[in-house]
Structure 1
Amino acid sequence: MQDPSRPATGYPAPPYFQPNGGQAPPSGAAYPYAAPPPYPQPQYYNPNSSRTRFTRSFVRTFFATIICLFVIFGTIVFITWLVLRPTLPRVRLESLSLSNLSANGQSLSGTWQAGFLVRNENKKMSITYQVIRSSIFYKSTYLSEAQLPPFKQETKNETALNATFSAVNTYVEKRIVDDMNGDKARGSIPFDVQVLASTSFRSGAWRLRTRVLKVLCRNALIGISSNGGTSGRLSGGAKDCQVWT
Protein backbone atom coordinates (compact mmCIF):
# COMPACT_ATOMS: atom_id res chain seq x y z
CA MET A 1 0.00 0.00 0.00
CA GLN A 2 1.32 3.43 -0.94
CA ASP A 3 2.38 5.83 1.78
CA PRO A 4 -0.05 8.80 1.72
CA SER A 5 2.68 11.22 2.89
CA ARG A 6 4.64 10.79 -0.32
CA PRO A 7 3.68 12.73 -3.38
CA ALA A 8 1.85 10.92 -6.04
CA THR A 9 3.90 9.91 -8.99
CA GLY A 10 3.15 8.43 -12.31
CA TYR A 11 0.53 11.03 -13.36
CA PRO A 12 1.32 13.46 -16.15
CA ALA A 13 1.53 17.18 -15.27
CA PRO A 14 -1.39 19.29 -16.49
CA PRO A 15 -0.59 21.11 -19.71
CA TYR A 16 0.32 24.87 -19.51
CA PHE A 17 -2.22 26.92 -21.38
CA GLN A 18 -0.70 29.30 -23.92
CA PRO A 19 -3.03 31.65 -25.74
CA ASN A 20 -2.85 31.74 -29.52
CA GLY A 21 -1.07 28.42 -29.61
CA GLY A 22 2.11 29.80 -28.05
CA GLN A 23 2.64 32.33 -30.83
CA ALA A 24 3.22 36.04 -30.33
CA PRO A 25 0.06 38.11 -30.58
CA PRO A 26 -0.40 39.75 -33.95
CA SER A 27 0.51 43.39 -34.40
CA GLY A 28 -2.23 45.71 -33.21
CA ALA A 29 -3.92 43.00 -31.12
CA ALA A 30 -5.05 43.96 -27.64
CA TYR A 31 -2.86 42.83 -24.82
CA PRO A 32 -4.71 40.37 -22.60
CA TYR A 33 -3.94 42.53 -19.56
CA ALA A 34 -5.25 46.09 -19.09
CA ALA A 35 -2.60 48.77 -19.74
CA PRO A 36 -1.79 51.06 -16.83
CA PRO A 37 -3.22 54.61 -17.04
CA PRO A 38 -0.88 57.20 -18.66
CA TYR A 39 1.28 59.18 -16.28
CA PRO A 40 0.25 62.87 -16.29
CA GLN A 41 2.77 65.13 -18.04
CA PRO A 42 4.33 67.76 -15.76
CA GLN A 43 3.30 71.35 -16.58
CA TYR A 44 5.97 74.07 -16.75
CA TYR A 45 5.21 77.16 -14.69
CA ASN A 46 6.77 80.45 -15.82
CA PRO A 47 6.85 82.91 -12.91
CA ASN A 48 7.49 85.82 -15.35
CA SER A 49 4.34 85.31 -17.44
CA SER A 50 2.08 87.29 -15.11
CA ARG A 51 4.67 90.09 -14.91
CA THR A 52 4.88 90.22 -18.74
CA ARG A 53 1.10 90.48 -19.05
CA PHE A 54 1.06 93.28 -16.49
CA THR A 55 3.82 95.19 -18.34
CA ARG A 56 2.01 94.94 -21.68
CA SER A 57 -1.24 96.08 -20.14
CA PHE A 58 0.49 99.03 -18.47
CA VAL A 59 2.20 100.11 -21.72
CA ARG A 60 -1.08 99.96 -23.67
CA THR A 61 -2.89 101.95 -21.00
CA PHE A 62 -0.09 104.53 -20.82
CA PHE A 63 -0.03 105.19 -24.57
CA ALA A 64 -3.82 105.29 -24.76
CA THR A 65 -3.84 107.92 -21.99
CA ILE A 66 -1.19 110.02 -23.75
CA ILE A 67 -3.14 109.93 -27.03
CA CYS A 68 -6.35 110.95 -25.26
CA LEU A 69 -4.57 113.87 -23.57
CA PHE A 70 -3.16 115.07 -26.91
CA VAL A 71 -6.59 114.87 -28.52
CA ILE A 72 -8.20 116.80 -25.66
CA PHE A 73 -5.47 119.46 -25.65
CA GLY A 74 -5.62 119.86 -29.43
CA THR A 75 -9.40 120.23 -29.29
CA ILE A 76 -9.12 122.95 -26.63
CA VAL A 77 -6.50 124.84 -28.66
CA PHE A 78 -8.57 124.58 -31.84
CA ILE A 79 -11.74 125.82 -30.13
CA THR A 80 -9.83 128.69 -28.52
CA TRP A 81 -8.34 129.63 -31.89
CA LEU A 82 -11.81 129.64 -33.46
CA VAL A 83 -13.15 131.88 -30.69
CA LEU A 84 -10.25 134.34 -30.65
CA ARG A 85 -9.27 134.04 -34.35
CA PRO A 86 -6.04 136.14 -34.30
CA THR A 87 -5.78 138.60 -37.19
CA LEU A 88 -2.49 139.89 -38.55
CA PRO A 89 -1.90 143.61 -38.08
CA ARG A 90 -2.30 146.08 -40.90
CA VAL A 91 0.87 147.97 -41.91
CA ARG A 92 0.99 151.02 -44.15
CA LEU A 93 3.97 152.98 -45.44
CA GLU A 94 2.98 156.56 -44.66
CA SER A 95 6.12 158.32 -45.85
CA LEU A 96 9.50 157.68 -47.45
CA SER A 97 12.11 160.31 -48.22
CA LEU A 98 15.62 160.29 -49.66
CA SER A 99 18.43 162.79 -49.17
CA ASN A 100 22.11 163.15 -50.14
CA LEU A 101 21.89 160.56 -52.90
CA SER A 102 25.16 159.80 -54.65
CA ALA A 103 25.55 156.90 -57.08
CA ASN A 104 28.82 156.77 -58.99
CA GLY A 105 30.86 153.87 -60.30
CA GLN A 106 30.24 151.07 -57.80
CA SER A 107 29.60 153.28 -54.77
CA LEU A 108 26.27 154.35 -53.30
CA SER A 109 25.51 156.87 -50.55
CA GLY A 110 22.23 158.21 -49.26
CA THR A 111 19.86 158.58 -46.32
CA TRP A 112 16.29 157.25 -46.30
CA GLN A 113 13.62 158.02 -43.72
CA ALA A 114 10.51 155.83 -43.58
CA GLY A 115 7.33 156.25 -41.57
CA PHE A 116 4.98 153.31 -40.87
CA LEU A 117 1.51 153.10 -39.37
CA VAL A 118 0.77 149.77 -37.67
CA ARG A 119 -2.81 148.92 -36.67
CA ASN A 120 -3.95 145.98 -34.53
CA GLU A 121 -7.24 144.81 -36.08
CA ASN A 122 -8.02 142.29 -33.31
CA LYS A 123 -10.95 142.85 -30.95
CA LYS A 124 -9.81 140.39 -28.27
CA MET A 125 -6.04 140.03 -28.64
CA SER A 126 -3.12 142.35 -27.99
CA ILE A 127 0.13 142.12 -29.97
CA THR A 128 3.67 142.44 -28.64
CA TYR A 129 6.48 143.29 -31.06
CA GLN A 130 9.78 142.26 -29.49
CA VAL A 131 12.56 142.42 -32.10
CA ILE A 132 11.95 144.68 -35.10
CA ARG A 133 14.37 145.09 -37.99
CA SER A 134 13.69 147.04 -41.17
CA SER A 135 15.65 147.01 -44.45
CA ILE A 136 15.53 148.91 -47.72
CA PHE A 137 16.20 147.40 -51.16
CA TYR A 138 16.56 148.56 -54.73
CA LYS A 139 15.53 145.88 -57.24
CA SER A 140 16.16 143.12 -54.65
CA THR A 141 19.60 144.55 -53.85
CA TYR A 142 20.13 145.21 -50.16
CA LEU A 143 21.11 148.80 -49.36
CA SER A 144 20.77 149.40 -45.61
CA GLU A 145 18.88 148.38 -42.46
CA ALA A 146 17.69 149.85 -39.16
CA GLN A 147 16.70 148.51 -35.73
CA LEU A 148 13.33 149.68 -34.37
CA PRO A 149 12.29 149.80 -30.70
CA PRO A 150 9.91 147.10 -29.38
CA PHE A 151 6.35 148.02 -28.45
CA LYS A 152 2.98 146.56 -27.47
CA GLN A 153 -0.40 147.17 -29.07
CA GLU A 154 -3.72 146.79 -27.34
CA THR A 155 -6.85 145.84 -29.27
CA LYS A 156 -7.92 148.20 -32.08
CA ASN A 157 -4.83 150.33 -31.53
CA GLU A 158 -2.57 152.24 -33.96
CA THR A 159 1.17 152.86 -33.56
CA ALA A 160 3.46 155.07 -35.66
CA LEU A 161 7.00 153.84 -36.35
CA ASN A 162 9.95 155.65 -37.90
CA ALA A 163 13.09 154.13 -39.40
CA THR A 164 16.23 155.79 -40.75
CA PHE A 165 18.48 154.01 -43.23
CA SER A 166 21.95 155.21 -44.12
CA ALA A 167 24.48 154.10 -46.73
CA VAL A 168 27.93 155.68 -46.96
CA ASN A 169 30.06 154.65 -49.92
CA THR A 170 28.40 151.24 -49.92
CA TYR A 171 29.67 148.89 -52.60
CA VAL A 172 27.08 147.81 -55.18
CA GLU A 173 27.35 146.30 -58.63
CA LYS A 174 27.84 148.74 -61.48
CA ARG A 175 24.61 147.67 -63.15
CA ILE A 176 22.70 148.71 -60.00
CA VAL A 177 24.25 152.18 -60.13
CA ASP A 178 23.46 152.46 -63.83
CA ASP A 179 19.84 151.34 -63.31
CA MET A 180 19.36 153.79 -60.43
CA ASN A 181 20.73 156.69 -62.45
CA GLY A 182 18.46 155.65 -65.32
CA ASP A 183 15.39 155.72 -63.03
CA LYS A 184 16.53 159.07 -61.66
CA ALA A 185 16.68 160.46 -65.19
CA ARG A 186 13.05 159.36 -65.64
CA GLY A 187 12.00 161.28 -62.50
CA SER A 188 11.46 158.56 -59.84
CA ILE A 189 13.33 155.70 -58.19
CA PRO A 190 11.46 152.62 -56.85
CA PHE A 191 12.48 151.11 -53.51
CA ASP A 192 11.22 148.14 -51.48
CA VAL A 193 11.01 148.44 -47.70
CA GLN A 194 10.91 145.31 -45.55
CA VAL A 195 10.14 144.81 -41.85
CA LEU A 196 10.74 141.65 -39.80
CA ALA A 197 9.36 141.48 -36.27
CA SER A 198 9.14 138.79 -33.59
CA THR A 199 5.52 139.01 -32.42
CA SER A 200 3.20 137.27 -29.98
CA PHE A 201 -0.59 137.47 -29.63
CA ARG A 202 -2.22 137.47 -26.21
CA SER A 203 -5.72 137.50 -24.75
CA GLY A 204 -5.79 137.57 -20.96
CA ALA A 205 -3.86 134.55 -19.70
CA TRP A 206 -3.97 132.88 -23.12
CA ARG A 207 -0.83 133.46 -25.19
CA LEU A 208 -0.11 132.08 -28.64
CA ARG A 209 3.36 131.03 -29.69
CA THR A 210 5.81 133.66 -30.92
CA ARG A 211 5.85 134.13 -34.68
CA VAL A 212 7.99 136.14 -37.09
CA LEU A 213 5.88 138.80 -38.77
CA LYS A 214 7.01 139.72 -42.29
CA VAL A 215 6.09 143.04 -43.91
CA LEU A 216 6.97 144.11 -47.45
CA CYS A 217 6.17 147.48 -48.99
CA ARG A 218 6.82 147.05 -52.70
CA ASN A 219 7.65 149.61 -55.36
CA ALA A 220 7.62 152.74 -53.21
CA LEU A 221 8.41 155.47 -55.74
CA ILE A 222 10.48 158.44 -54.64
CA GLY A 223 10.14 161.40 -56.98
CA ILE A 224 13.49 163.06 -57.60
CA SER A 225 14.65 165.76 -59.96
CA SER A 226 16.55 164.49 -62.96
CA ASN A 227 18.57 167.73 -63.11
CA GLY A 228 21.18 166.95 -60.46
CA GLY A 229 18.65 166.24 -57.74
CA THR A 230 19.84 164.37 -54.66
CA SER A 231 16.65 164.28 -52.60
CA GLY A 232 13.00 163.39 -53.00
CA ARG A 233 9.82 162.15 -51.33
CA LEU A 234 7.28 159.35 -51.69
CA SER A 235 5.01 159.98 -54.63
CA GLY A 236 1.49 158.66 -55.00
CA GLY A 237 0.57 158.81 -51.31
CA ALA A 238 0.69 156.15 -48.60
CA LYS A 239 1.03 152.49 -49.60
CA ASP A 240 -0.49 149.41 -47.98
CA CYS A 241 2.12 146.75 -47.28
CA GLN A 242 1.89 143.00 -47.60
CA VAL A 243 1.85 141.21 -44.21
CA TRP A 244 2.30 137.48 -43.55
CA THR A 245 3.94 135.03 -41.15
Structure 2
Amino acid sequence: MQDPSRPATGYPAPPFHQPNGGQAPPPATAYPYAAPPPQYYNPTYAPPRPSSLASRSFFRAFFATMICLAVVFGVILIVTWLVLRPSLPHFTLHALSVSNLSTTAQSLSATWNISFLVRNGNGKMSVSYNALRSSLFYRTNYIAESQLPPFKQDTKSESTLNATLSAAGTYLEPRVIDDLNDEKAKGQVLFDVQILASTSFRSGSWRFRTRVLKVLCRKMPVGFSSKAASGDLVGGDKECQVWT
Protein backbone atom coordinates (compact mmCIF):
# COMPACT_ATOMS: atom_id res chain seq x y z
CA MET A 1 0.00 0.00 0.00
CA GLN A 2 1.38 3.37 -0.99
CA ASP A 3 2.51 5.60 1.75
CA PRO A 4 0.07 8.55 1.88
CA SER A 5 2.77 10.92 3.20
CA ARG A 6 4.72 10.80 -0.06
CA PRO A 7 3.70 13.09 -2.89
CA ALA A 8 1.93 11.61 -5.79
CA THR A 9 4.00 11.21 -8.87
CA GLY A 10 3.15 10.57 -12.48
CA TYR A 11 1.10 13.74 -13.09
CA PRO A 12 2.70 16.86 -14.53
CA ALA A 13 2.40 20.06 -12.60
CA PRO A 14 -0.18 22.50 -13.99
CA PRO A 15 1.34 25.22 -16.16
CA PHE A 16 1.88 28.66 -14.58
CA HIS A 17 -0.04 31.38 -16.49
CA GLN A 18 1.97 34.61 -17.03
CA PRO A 19 0.39 37.80 -18.39
CA ASN A 20 1.65 39.48 -21.59
CA GLY A 21 2.71 36.17 -23.04
CA GLY A 22 5.46 35.82 -20.53
CA GLN A 23 7.03 39.25 -21.21
CA ALA A 24 8.15 41.53 -18.42
CA PRO A 25 5.56 44.10 -17.33
CA PRO A 26 6.13 47.71 -18.47
CA PRO A 27 7.82 50.02 -16.05
CA ALA A 28 5.57 51.93 -13.72
CA THR A 29 4.84 55.62 -14.58
CA ALA A 30 3.55 58.53 -12.56
CA TYR A 31 0.53 59.05 -14.88
CA PRO A 32 -2.11 56.51 -15.63
CA TYR A 33 -2.45 57.92 -19.20
CA ALA A 34 -0.17 58.17 -22.18
CA ALA A 35 2.37 61.03 -22.12
CA PRO A 36 1.39 64.19 -24.15
CA PRO A 37 3.15 64.78 -27.46
CA PRO A 38 6.29 66.98 -27.28
CA GLN A 39 5.80 70.72 -27.80
CA TYR A 40 6.94 72.21 -31.13
CA TYR A 41 9.77 74.69 -30.72
CA ASN A 42 9.97 77.61 -33.14
CA PRO A 43 13.59 78.76 -33.31
CA THR A 44 12.58 82.11 -34.90
CA TYR A 45 10.34 83.17 -32.02
CA ALA A 46 11.82 84.72 -28.96
CA PRO A 47 9.74 86.04 -26.10
CA PRO A 48 10.04 89.82 -25.58
CA ARG A 49 12.70 90.80 -23.15
CA PRO A 50 11.78 92.89 -20.15
CA SER A 51 14.07 95.72 -21.37
CA SER A 52 12.28 95.99 -24.75
CA LEU A 53 8.89 96.06 -23.03
CA ALA A 54 10.09 98.87 -20.77
CA SER A 55 11.40 100.85 -23.78
CA ARG A 56 8.06 100.57 -25.58
CA SER A 57 6.20 101.70 -22.50
CA PHE A 58 8.55 104.67 -22.08
CA PHE A 59 8.13 105.87 -25.69
CA ARG A 60 4.36 105.48 -25.52
CA ALA A 61 4.24 107.52 -22.34
CA PHE A 62 6.62 110.12 -23.83
CA PHE A 63 4.57 110.64 -27.01
CA ALA A 64 1.33 110.74 -25.04
CA THR A 65 2.84 113.43 -22.79
CA MET A 66 4.01 115.48 -25.79
CA ILE A 67 0.57 115.33 -27.37
CA CYS A 68 -1.08 116.42 -24.13
CA LEU A 69 1.36 119.33 -23.76
CA ALA A 70 0.75 120.45 -27.36
CA VAL A 71 -3.01 120.40 -26.82
CA VAL A 72 -2.73 122.34 -23.55
CA PHE A 73 -0.39 124.91 -25.12
CA GLY A 74 -2.75 125.36 -28.08
CA VAL A 75 -5.71 125.88 -25.79
CA ILE A 76 -3.75 128.48 -23.80
CA LEU A 77 -2.88 130.38 -26.98
CA ILE A 78 -6.47 130.35 -28.20
CA VAL A 79 -7.81 131.54 -24.84
CA THR A 80 -5.16 134.28 -24.66
CA TRP A 81 -5.95 135.39 -28.20
CA LEU A 82 -9.69 135.55 -27.41
CA VAL A 83 -9.10 137.47 -24.19
CA LEU A 84 -6.69 140.02 -25.70
CA ARG A 85 -8.50 140.21 -29.06
CA PRO A 86 -5.72 141.98 -31.04
CA SER A 87 -6.95 144.16 -33.88
CA LEU A 88 -5.02 145.56 -36.83
CA PRO A 89 -3.84 149.16 -36.62
CA HIS A 90 -5.54 151.91 -38.62
CA PHE A 91 -3.67 153.83 -41.33
CA THR A 92 -4.93 157.17 -42.61
CA LEU A 93 -3.27 159.11 -45.43
CA HIS A 94 -3.03 162.56 -43.89
CA ALA A 95 -1.01 164.43 -46.53
CA LEU A 96 0.29 163.79 -50.03
CA SER A 97 2.13 166.41 -52.04
CA VAL A 98 3.99 166.24 -55.34
CA SER A 99 6.75 168.61 -56.41
CA ASN A 100 8.90 169.05 -59.53
CA LEU A 101 6.72 166.77 -61.63
CA SER A 102 8.05 166.49 -65.16
CA THR A 103 7.64 163.97 -67.95
CA THR A 104 9.25 163.00 -71.19
CA ALA A 105 7.98 160.66 -73.87
CA GLN A 106 8.95 157.59 -71.77
CA SER A 107 9.96 158.75 -68.28
CA LEU A 108 8.71 160.49 -65.17
CA SER A 109 10.51 162.54 -62.52
CA ALA A 110 9.04 163.94 -59.31
CA THR A 111 9.20 163.96 -55.50
CA TRP A 112 6.34 162.83 -53.24
CA ASN A 113 6.03 163.75 -49.56
CA ILE A 114 3.56 161.53 -47.72
CA SER A 115 2.30 161.63 -44.16
CA PHE A 116 0.32 158.83 -42.45
CA LEU A 117 -1.56 158.78 -39.17
CA VAL A 118 -1.15 155.35 -37.57
CA ARG A 119 -3.40 154.41 -34.67
CA ASN A 120 -3.13 151.37 -32.41
CA GLY A 121 -6.63 150.75 -31.09
CA ASN A 122 -5.69 147.77 -28.91
CA GLY A 123 -6.18 148.35 -25.19
CA LYS A 124 -3.93 145.49 -24.08
CA MET A 125 -1.34 145.03 -26.83
CA SER A 126 1.48 147.16 -28.19
CA VAL A 127 2.59 146.94 -31.83
CA SER A 128 6.12 146.99 -33.25
CA TYR A 129 6.78 147.87 -36.90
CA ASN A 130 9.99 146.77 -38.62
CA ALA A 131 11.31 146.62 -42.19
CA LEU A 132 8.87 149.25 -43.42
CA ARG A 133 8.81 150.04 -47.11
CA SER A 134 6.56 152.56 -48.84
CA SER A 135 5.87 152.38 -52.59
CA LEU A 136 4.00 154.56 -55.04
CA PHE A 137 2.14 153.49 -58.20
CA TYR A 138 0.26 155.08 -61.02
CA ARG A 139 -2.40 152.77 -62.45
CA THR A 140 -0.53 149.69 -61.14
CA ASN A 141 2.72 150.99 -62.69
CA TYR A 142 5.55 151.16 -60.18
CA ILE A 143 7.13 154.60 -59.86
CA ALA A 144 9.19 154.90 -56.65
CA GLU A 145 9.78 153.46 -53.16
CA SER A 146 11.46 154.37 -49.89
CA GLN A 147 12.61 152.58 -46.72
CA LEU A 148 11.10 153.89 -43.47
CA PRO A 149 12.52 153.73 -39.92
CA PRO A 150 11.02 151.18 -37.50
CA PHE A 151 8.87 152.34 -34.63
CA LYS A 152 6.73 151.04 -31.77
CA GLN A 153 3.23 151.97 -30.61
CA ASP A 154 1.88 151.58 -27.11
CA THR A 155 -1.73 150.68 -26.41
CA LYS A 156 -4.35 153.21 -27.49
CA SER A 157 -1.80 155.51 -29.13
CA GLU A 158 -1.41 157.39 -32.42
CA SER A 159 1.77 158.08 -34.38
CA THR A 160 2.75 160.04 -37.47
CA LEU A 161 4.69 158.24 -40.18
CA ASN A 162 6.39 160.33 -42.87
CA ALA A 163 7.85 159.14 -46.15
CA THR A 164 9.64 160.83 -49.04
CA LEU A 165 9.76 159.09 -52.41
CA SER A 166 11.69 160.29 -55.46
CA ALA A 167 11.66 159.27 -59.10
CA ALA A 168 14.38 160.42 -61.44
CA GLY A 169 13.73 159.41 -65.02
CA THR A 170 11.63 156.36 -64.09
CA TYR A 171 10.64 154.56 -67.27
CA LEU A 172 6.95 154.35 -68.13
CA GLU A 173 5.30 153.28 -71.36
CA PRO A 174 4.36 156.19 -73.65
CA ARG A 175 0.64 155.49 -73.31
CA VAL A 176 0.98 155.67 -69.51
CA ILE A 177 2.78 159.01 -69.76
CA ASP A 178 0.03 160.31 -72.04
CA ASP A 179 -2.67 159.24 -69.56
CA LEU A 180 -0.87 160.94 -66.67
CA ASN A 181 -0.44 164.16 -68.62
CA ASP A 182 -4.13 164.11 -69.59
CA GLU A 183 -5.18 163.74 -65.94
CA LYS A 184 -2.79 166.48 -64.86
CA ALA A 185 -4.19 168.81 -67.52
CA LYS A 186 -7.66 168.18 -66.13
CA GLY A 187 -6.44 169.21 -62.67
CA GLN A 188 -6.19 165.89 -60.80
CA VAL A 189 -3.94 162.79 -60.88
CA LEU A 190 -4.73 159.58 -58.96
CA PHE A 191 -1.86 157.74 -57.25
CA ASP A 192 -1.76 154.49 -55.24
CA VAL A 193 0.38 154.37 -52.09
CA GLN A 194 1.41 151.10 -50.44
CA ILE A 195 3.18 150.19 -47.20
CA LEU A 196 4.62 146.82 -46.22
CA ALA A 197 5.82 146.23 -42.66
CA SER A 198 6.84 143.35 -40.44
CA THR A 199 4.69 143.71 -37.33
CA SER A 200 4.46 141.92 -34.00
CA PHE A 201 1.94 142.24 -31.17
CA ARG A 202 3.02 142.11 -27.53
CA SER A 203 1.18 142.09 -24.22
CA GLY A 204 3.47 141.91 -21.21
CA SER A 205 5.56 138.77 -21.63
CA TRP A 206 3.27 137.45 -24.36
CA ARG A 207 4.50 138.01 -27.87
CA PHE A 208 2.60 136.72 -30.89
CA ARG A 209 4.20 135.63 -34.12
CA THR A 210 5.45 138.26 -36.55
CA ARG A 211 3.16 139.02 -39.47
CA VAL A 212 3.55 141.07 -42.65
CA LEU A 213 1.21 144.03 -42.53
CA LYS A 214 -0.04 145.38 -45.86
CA VAL A 215 -1.46 148.88 -46.25
CA LEU A 216 -2.95 150.17 -49.49
CA CYS A 217 -4.25 153.69 -50.15
CA ARG A 218 -5.94 153.46 -53.54
CA LYS A 219 -6.65 156.31 -55.96
CA MET A 220 -5.39 159.16 -53.81
CA PRO A 221 -6.28 162.38 -55.72
CA VAL A 222 -3.59 165.03 -56.11
CA GLY A 223 -4.78 168.39 -57.48
CA PHE A 224 -2.73 170.46 -59.93
CA SER A 225 -3.34 173.97 -61.11
CA SER A 226 -2.87 174.80 -64.78
CA LYS A 227 0.64 173.90 -65.97
CA ALA A 228 1.91 173.65 -62.38
CA ALA A 229 4.59 171.14 -61.43
CA SER A 230 3.32 170.74 -57.86
CA GLY A 231 0.11 169.46 -56.33
CA ASP A 232 -1.50 168.45 -53.02
CA LEU A 233 -3.98 165.90 -51.71
CA VAL A 234 -7.58 166.78 -52.47
CA GLY A 235 -10.44 166.20 -50.03
CA GLY A 236 -8.61 165.82 -46.72
CA ASP A 237 -7.62 162.59 -44.92
CA LYS A 238 -8.17 159.26 -46.69
CA GLU A 239 -8.65 155.89 -45.00
CA CYS A 240 -6.39 153.07 -46.21
CA GLN A 241 -7.02 149.33 -46.40
CA VAL A 242 -5.06 147.22 -43.91
CA TRP A 243 -4.68 143.41 -43.88
CA THR A 244 -2.17 140.67 -43.20
Q: Do both share a fold (TM > 0.5)?
A: yes
Q: Which moved more, 1:46-55 or 1:166-175?
A: 46-55
Which aligned runs of 4 or more in structure 1 are off by greater than 4 angstroms? 8-11, 13-19, 42-45
Q: Where in structure 2 are the equivalents of 1:202-221 lying within 5 Å? A: 202-221=202-221
- 135 and 16 in structure 1: CA distance in 2 versus 1, 3 angstrom threshold: same
Q: What residue in structure 2 maps to residue 180 of structure 1?
A: 180
Q: Where in structure 2 are the equivalents of 1:6-21 lying within 5 Å? A: none
Contact 2:185–2:227 at 8 Å: present in 1 too?
Answer: no
Q: Where in structure 2 are the equivalents of 1:17-28 lying within 5 Å? A: none
Q: What residue in structure 2 maps to residue 234 of structure 1?
A: 233
Distance of 2:179 and 2:173 partners within structure 1: 10
Asked whether 1:38 is paired with 2:36, we answer yes
- Percent of paired sites with the same residue: 55
Q: What residue in structure 2 maps to residue 222 of structure 1?
A: 222
Distance of 2:47 and 2:36 partners within structure 1: 27
Q: What residue in structure 1 maps to residue 159 of structure 2?
A: 159
- 16 and 198 in structure 1: CA distance in 2 versus 1, 3 angstrom threshold: closer
Q: Where in structure 2 are the equivalents of 1:42-61 lying within 5 Å? A: 46=46, 48-61=48-61
Distance of 2:90 and 2:16 partners within structure 1: 129
Q: Where in structure 2 are the equivalents of 1:85-164 lying within 5 Å? A: 85-164=85-164
Gapped regions of structure 2 (runs ≥ 5): 1-9, 22-31
What displacement does 1:40 show? 4.3
Q: What code does the residue aligned with 2:35 have? A: P
Q: TM-score, normalised by structure 2?
A: 0.83
What displacement does 1:9 show? 11
Contact 2:213–2:243 at 8 Å: present in 1 too?
Answer: yes
- 195 and 39 in structure 1: CA distance in 2 versus 1, 3 angstrom threshold: same
Distance of 2:154 and 2:16 partners within structure 1: 128
- 81 and 16 in structure 1: CA distance in 2 versus 1, 3 angstrom threshold: closer
Q: Where in structure 2 are the equivalents of 1:190-201 lying within 5 Å? A: 190-201=190-201
Distance of 1:218 and 1:122 partners within structure 2: 25
Q: What code does the residue aligned with 2:96 have? A: L
What displacement does 1:184 show? 1.1
What displacement does 1:38 show? 2.5
Deviations along 1:135-158, one digit per CA (max 9) or x if unpaired, are: 111011110011111111111111
Q: Secondary structure at the match of 2:36?
A: coil
- 9 and 132 in structure 1: CA distance in 2 versus 1, 3 angstrom threshold: same
What displacement does 1:39 show? 4.8
What displacement does 1:69 show? 0.5
Q: What code does the residue aligned with 1:243 have? A: V
